[in-house]
Amino acid sequence: MSPPKDKIIEPIDASMEAVVEKLANPRTIKQSNPNALIPYSSNSPRTPSQGELDLQIQKQIEIDGIGMGVLNDGTAFLTGRGLARLCGVDSSRISEMAASWNKEPPIPLTRRVKELLSSRGVNLPQQPYIEIKQRSDFFHAYPDYLCLAVLEYYAFDAATPTEQAKSNFRLLAGKALHDFIYTQVGYDPNNAVPVVWQQFHDRVSLTYNSVPRGYFSIFREIADMIVTLGQAGLHIDSSFVPDGSVGSIWARYWKENNLAEKYGERKEWNHNYPDYFAQSKSNPQAAACYPEMALGEFKRWLREAYIEGGKFANYINGKIKQKELPPSFAEIITKAYQLEDKSN
């Protein structure tokens, strides 16, 4: 079930400049709203959290070329390219700062950013970014407090300050950048879903009451399988979409066995992926739904043919070969469903 509307921070649909101005303009703040985000100067910057938690990205979005998001510990961040765009400089400047972070002498940008962080009581991190391990790569998240220091440098201290940095710093100083990111990604710290379940939660929310009455959808009916895998440590994301595999093989079984004659014809419904999934570019997508009279046969087929018959293992092994999943996931599935290991 979707969260109540008054608990959701809605993103603003506009260009980057318009969004920043709208956030910072006091006239847009509704004082009667307990979730209203009011810009203010923070006297107690949050300290870096590298190495303290197994951090992952909980929410992420790109607005007017500026990538931003929130980690599962609540840290608001910008991507390196997003930070560069906010400051009105080339992204190579941010890469140079990262490369010189632990070198002597540092470049002027690095030196000044460290000075600003120290003056605000922030313990200097080992790197200017938080490194997030993803399945086949690493992602660099620049925390909001560091982004503000970089923005201030390009607004006032650089050899050639940029007008864009000056304008954005005036609007985003203090806690405003942090609140801006929270607002745009739709993150509510008081109503957050654990990051490992967020994508499953978002997909469930988008399918709620979307299927025609009297019919079932594949995603809703394999939810117990997805939960079982999640409890074992394997969670769905944009590279692991098992309902696509189940749906295509079940559709073939449906046609080959002329099940429409027995249960009635299938229908189509508009399926949507969360906007941060790559698959969302083709939203809405026509997906098949099946008469509820066939649900018992589907459940039996899912258990005996798809899972126990090795089709699910074939899907996972294919993802491993494509390097979209680590090899350990095959073992997770084998243990979760107490299957015979046929990999040897």
Helices (H) and strands (E) in the chain, counts: 15, 8
Phi, psi torsion values for 223, nearest 5 degrees: -60, -40
Taking only the tens of pLDDT, the chain with its 344 residues reads: 344 443 333 444 444 555 555 444 433 323 223 222 223 333 334 444 334 446 778 888 888 888 999 988 889 999 999 999 999 999 999 999 999 999 999 999 999 999 999 999 998 999 999 998 765 578 899 999 999 999 999 999 999 999 999 999 998 988 889 988 988 888 877 665 565 566 666 766 666 667 888 999 888 888 777 777 776 666 666 566 677 888 899 999 999 999 999 999 999 888 777 777 777 787 888 888 999 999 999 999 998 998 888 888 888 788 778 776 667 666 766 666 655 544 44
Helices (H), the chain: 16-24, 80-87, 91-99, 108-119, 144-152, 163-172, 176-185, 195-207, 218-221, 223-232, 242-256, 259-263, 295-301, 311-321, 328-336
Burial of 13 per CB tally in 10 Å (0-12, 13-18, 19+) = exposed
How far is C-alpha 166 from the chain's CA centre?
30
Pairing of strands 285-291, 215-217: antiparallel
Enter the tokens of residue 269: 């419904």
Of the candidates 53, 91, 57, 62, which has an alpha carbon nearest to the alpha carbon of residue 76? 57
